[in-house]
Structures are given as C-alpha cells and as structure tokens.
C-alpha cells in the first residue's frame, strides 16, 4: 500500500486544520482531503474512494453518526474513525462499526494507533471502484429534528415548503413546523433534483404541493399550497411557471401526497 487516502470531516475550521496537519505528517497516509460539513463530505465520497474517514460527531444538518450509518451501506465502505470531544457516543460509534474513537485534542500517538488499525482492515492495493452515484446514498431524504431531547426524522415527502430563518430552515409539514440547522442554499442544492424550487430568497417550495398561483393584494405572486401561501419573487416567477408547466405535461401535478 502506497499510503492511505483519508478524508477528514469537521465543521470547526481550526479543528479540521489541526487534524489534517496530523494526518499529513503520518507516514501511513498518502493523501488527505478535507470537508467542512457532512454534506460536502458525502458529495466527495460519492465521487471517489477513500480508505478511511475521520469524522467529528457533533455537526449541523447530518451528524457524524448518521453519516457513518450511510457509509456503512456501501459495498466497500471506508474505515470510520470518530474524532470528538465527547466520550458518551463511544458505544454508538462502535455499534456502527467504527475502527477507533479519538478524543480531542488528538495526540499523534493515538492517531498512529488508529492508522495502524485502519491498515489492518483496509485491503492492500484495493482496486479503485467507479464513483458512487448520488442515488446510492440519498442523505437528504430525511432530516433529523431535535425535539424535547429526542431526535425524529422529517421525510422530504412530508414537506410542502421550506422557509429560511438565519442559519436555520423551517420545514412546513402537516404535522407542524420543524426547525433544522442548515442554510437554505445548501438544502436547495440537495432537494432541487427531488422537485423543490427556489421561489424567493427565503423560500423553497415542493412542486408537488403547489395547487395554484395567486396574486396578492399588491400584485405580487403567491404559490398556494395546502399549508399556506408562499411568496414568489419576480426573478423566480418565470422559472416556477415553466417548472409547473413541465410537471403538468408529465402528469406529475395530478398526484396529491
């Protein structure tokens, strides 16, 4: 083996930089890539192979445990090492199949132990597979929502529209409004192929949930859904009409969830 190809994932830039530095200094490592959030990490893994992924646990949108669970479903999953400041997730981490569990700040000797473990489980000269297609891991089909100390998952199909709220989004569903820590621009990137359209700087709407377009009292445009009206800006109005027309021609708007 000429050197491990590893991916480091942490949403705290100084912590990510330090972990990458330690990995690059390790003789077992041949290449180091970095991701500042789990969704970027998922996209990188979908487009290439890594022998190992070093994951922080506490991250917004999709935490390290959830990402590791997705990776475990791959035909040739990378070895997982969790890197965290918290001890209480160790049982869950090893239950997922993690190779090691490192506590921050990471010491070089502990990192060396983890890399030795990885070397024992990663086959030498493993052939480079074809890039994993996005459909293999649809991480955004459901989003974790914290409520009263418990985590529930809101399925994308339940959501009529999404409202931006600073660094958070509000998911409007029949069961209520659910808040998730994630910028709306990032959610748009992952949900646009599933039929969610940006209709306003602060709103995404599901094409399947649009019942009609209406004018408001001052001549603006509204996308009417069963859960309320969503404002449509002038710059997005034409695209929304075109998308609705195309969906209608395919018969997609006849399906009510």
- Quick check: is 133 in a domain? no
Q: Is the pLDDT of residue 79 over 90?
A: yes
Q: Is the domain of 155 the same as that of 117?
A: no
What's the pLDDT at 134?
A: 42
Residue 33's pLDDT band, with cuts at 50, 70 and 90, is very high
Q: Is the domain of 153 the same as that of 204?
A: yes
Q: Is the domain of 119 the same as that of 149?
A: no
Between 77 and 32, the higher pLDDT residue: 32
Q: Tens of pLDDT along 122-148?
A: 865 454 444 444 444 555 788 888 777
- Quick check: is 137 in a domain? no
Closest CA to 19 of 6, 7, 8: 8
Q: Is the domain of 113 the same as that of 213?
A: no
Q: Is the pLDDT of residue 1 over 80?
A: no
What's the pLDDT at 251?
A: 63
Q: Tens of pLDDT along 190-243?
A: 898 888 999 999 999 999 999 999 988 888 899 999 999 999 999 999 999 988
Question: Global pTM?
Answer: 0.56
Domain containing residue 111: CATH number: 3.40.50.2300
Q: Is the domain of 197 the same as that of 154?
A: yes
Q: Is the domain of 84 the same as that of 160?
A: no
Q: Is the domain of 172 the same as that of 212?
A: yes
Q: Is the domain of 98 the same as that of 172?
A: no
Residue 71's domain comprises 4-124
Q: What does the pLDDT average to over 76-82? A: 90
CA 224/CA 240 separation, integer angstroms: 12
- Quick check: is 138 in a domain? no
- Which residue is associated with the tokens 């195309």? 246
Please tell me the number of Cα atoms within 13 Å of 223 on its side-chain side. 29
The number of distinct structural domains making up the chain is 2
Domain containing residue 159: CATH number: 2.40.50.1020
Q: Tens of pLDDT along 170-191?
A: 999 999 999 988 889 888 988 9
How much of the chain exceeds pLDDT 90, in percent?
49
- Quick check: is 64 in a domain? yes
162's CB contacts (< 8 A; 6+ apart) are 169, 170, 171, 172, 184, 187, 191, 196, 203, 204, 205
């Amino acid at each position: 083996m000429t050197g491990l190809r590893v991916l480091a994932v942490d949403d705290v830039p100084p912590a990510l930089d330090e972990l990458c530095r330690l990995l690059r200094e390790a003789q077992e490592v041949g290449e180091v890539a970095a991701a500042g959030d789990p969704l970027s990490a998922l996209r990188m893994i979908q487009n290439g192979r890594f022998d190992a992924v070093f994951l922080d646990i506490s991250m917004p949108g999709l935490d390290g445990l959830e990402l590791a669970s997705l990776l475990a479903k791959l035909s040739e999953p990378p070895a997982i090492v969790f890197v965290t400041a918290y001890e209480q997730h160790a049982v869950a981490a090893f239950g997922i199949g993690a190779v090691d569990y490192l506590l921050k700040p990471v010491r070089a000797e502990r990192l060396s132990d983890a890399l030795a473990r990885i070397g024992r489980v990663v086959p030498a000269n493993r052939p480079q597979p074809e890039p994993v297609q996005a459909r293999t891991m649809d991480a955004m089909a459901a989003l974790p929502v914290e409520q009263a100390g418990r985590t529930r998952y809101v399925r994308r199909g339940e959501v009529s529209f999404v409202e931006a709220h600073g660094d958070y989004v509000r998911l409007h569903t029949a069961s209520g409004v659910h808040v998730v820590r994630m910028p709306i621009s990032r959610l748009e990137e992952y949900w646009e192929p599933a039929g969610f359209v940006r209709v306003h700087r602060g709103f995404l709407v599901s094409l399947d949930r649009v019942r009609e377009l209406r004018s408001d009292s001052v001549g603006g445009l509204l996308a009417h859904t069963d859960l309320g009206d969503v404002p449509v800006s002038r710059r997005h109005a034409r695209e929304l009409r075109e998308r609705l027309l195309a969906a209608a021609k395919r018969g997609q708007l006849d399906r009510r969830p």
